[in-house]
Amino acid sequence: MRLNKIALALGLTSMVGLIGCEDSSSTPPVNAPTQSFYQVKAIDGYLQHAKVWLDLNGNFEQDANEPSTTSGAGGVAELDVTQVVEQGLSPESYQVIVQAIAGETIDEDKPDTPLSSGFTMSAPAGEVNVTPLSTLVNIKLSESITDDMSAEKIAEMKKQAVSELASELGIDETAVLSDYVAKKDSDEQATSDAAQQAAYAARSIVESEQVLPETPQEMNEVVEEVKESDSETDFEKLAAVVNNEIKKEVEDTPDPQMLEDAQPAIDKNADMTIDSDQDGVPDELDPFPQDSSEWMDNDEDGIGDHSDTDDDDDGFTDDVDVFPLDAKKAGDHDGDGTDSVNDQYPYDFDNDSYPDAEDDFPKDPAEWLDSDGDEVGDNADVFPDDPTEWADSDGDEVGDNEDAFRMTLMNLKIVTATRSVTIRTDSHLTLMKRTIRTMMAMATTGMPSQQMLTNLLRMYSPLKKQPNRLCSSCVKNQ
């Protein structure tokens, strides 16, 4: 049995029925078994009289041990999952399947007429709105996930599948797995607009009669073929073409509310039986009906998407474009939180105008070059061509690493054999350092420390006027 490891606590309700009776012996009430229900919705418009079941074994077909029911008003279906819960399993771990049956199922948008054609839909585990859009997301997801994949990875892949479908249809990601029928009436204009676009996309997919499998068995075959094929399947080709036509209508409609009464993007009455090049896409939908290697021209530039290196003409070639069919998005190539289409420097995380591939410090806008390879940027490196030095704290042009007499304070302490004095150097640091070096050289000759101090005071200009004593403003006895 295949489990999706994401368990989203959605729609699960428990109902406890207590049945009691009284007699002269005051028999205590008997507790009835706890029943658990999992509520989902079947939606194109809201679908009544559709078959709904929890797919415990992942084969998309209704098996005897799987909770099932029929949808009612508002597309609502309550699955009795008591046995599932009693086994310690979570209903949210399984996909939900909806089968709309021709002549039986009714779309509440057209309540007087049962559907003329049947279709099958599904939703990823944990999702309670089963729609044409959730079906395409689920097929994308089924193609990629494996049984040993972590819940975090599956959630990430579901998010990516939602993003891809939204891009293909030109709709908002937040509407893809939503109850878009309910949200069309939202007081929030943006929410209502997004729902109208999603509802139009779903309606167009169903009425095209080209994308959704008619039966659960066909759904299973589609998914297995998508999983196993190294090239695009006929299902994927048709879905891509239909989605592209929907996207054009969505983007060409200035007010999303106008989509409520708009004709579907695909004319289901058109002849879809002729496929001259046998590429799986009817001539009616194929911009290249005589070329079996091409069936889409997303940017309408006369070049088929397979030959076109930039299908959406956004300036990012398909091999690097995360959304190759969406001119408004390309992905965030430098990871700075801005999509590359809107990023002045799409391959430059710190936006210092130096591409990350050429930037020695890709996350530091103040640095981009390290000429000597000492891991200190040239802008901060006092010795940009010396890998052993990068700082000069006292400004004497001798690097701190080499400089044994580095002074970071304005006081220099000289310790002699007889006493310790502090000479206040003020602006004479460099002179003092040179003087001390001379004194150290004297020490190598064996000169007594008192004589070295005297020589030092003679060489230090502020003290030359009083060579025989320590100036109180310059030398402090300790």
Residue 19 has a CB neighbour count (10 Å cut-off) of 8
Closest CA to 237 of 298, 204, 282, 281: 281
Using CA atoms, how far residue 105 sits from 30, 37, 198, 207, 255, in Å, is 40, 22, 21, 15, 31
Q: List the strands of the sheet with 411-415, edge to edge.
A: 411-415, 420-424, 475-477
Closest CA to 62 of 51, 50, 78: 51
Closest CA to 272 of 245, 305, 303, 299: 245
Distance CA 194, CA 237 (A): 26
Contact 247, 239 (CB under 8 A): no
Distance CA 277, CA 290 (A): 5
> What's the burial of 33, exposed, middle or buried (CB within 10 Å: 0-12/13-18/19+)?
exposed
Our measurement of the distance from residue 228's CA atom to the centroid of its chain's CA atoms, rounded to an integer in Å, reads 26
Q: Which amino acid is at 368?
A: W
**Bridge-partner residues for 34, per DSSP?**
16
Which single residue is written with the structure tokens 């959704």?
A: 212
Which single residue is written with the structure tokens 């309606």?
A: 203
Closest CA to 8 of 119, 95, 111, 103: 95
In the prediction, which pLDDT does 448 show?
60
Indicate the length of the chain as a whole number: 478
Distance CA 437, CA 396 (A): 13
pTM: 0.65
**Bridge-partner residues for 421, per DSSP?**
414, 477
Distance CA 396, CA 403 (A): 9
| E strand segments, 290-437 | 411-415, 420-424
Q: Which amino acid is at 79?
A: L
Instruction: Specify whether the backbone of 182 is left (phi greater than 0), alpha (psi in -120 to 50) or beta.
Output: alpha
Q: Which helix (H) or strand (E) holds 70?
A: strand 68-70
Which single residue is written with the structure tokens 């001390």?
A: 436
pLDDT tens digits, the chain, 478 residues: what are they? Answer: 443 433 333 333 333 332 233 444 556 556 666 899 999 999 999 999 999 999 999 999 999 999 999 999 999 999 999 999 999 999 999 999 999 999 999 999 999 999 999 999 999 999 999 999 999 999 999 888 888 889 899 999 999 999 999 999 999 999 999 999 999 999 999 999 999 999 999 999 999 999 999 999 999 999 999 999 989 999 999 999 999 999 999 999 999 999 999 999 998 889 999 999 999 999 999 999 999 999 888 888 888 888 888 878 888 888 888 888 788 888 888 788 888 888 778 877 888 788 888 888 888 888 988 888 988 888 988 898 889 888 888 787 888 788 665 544 344 444 444 444 444 444 445 556 666 666 666 666 666 655 665 665 555 544 444 444 444 444 444 3
pLDDT tens-digit map of 204-217: 999 999 999 999 99
Closest CA to 61 of 179, 238, 234, 222: 222
| Helix 234-252 × helix 151-169 angle, to 10° | 60
**Bridge-partner residues for 411, per DSSP?**
424
Contact 41, 74 (CB under 8 A): yes
Contact 431, 423 (CB under 8 A): no
pLDDT tens-digit map of 166-198: 999 999 999 999 999 999 999 999 999 999 999
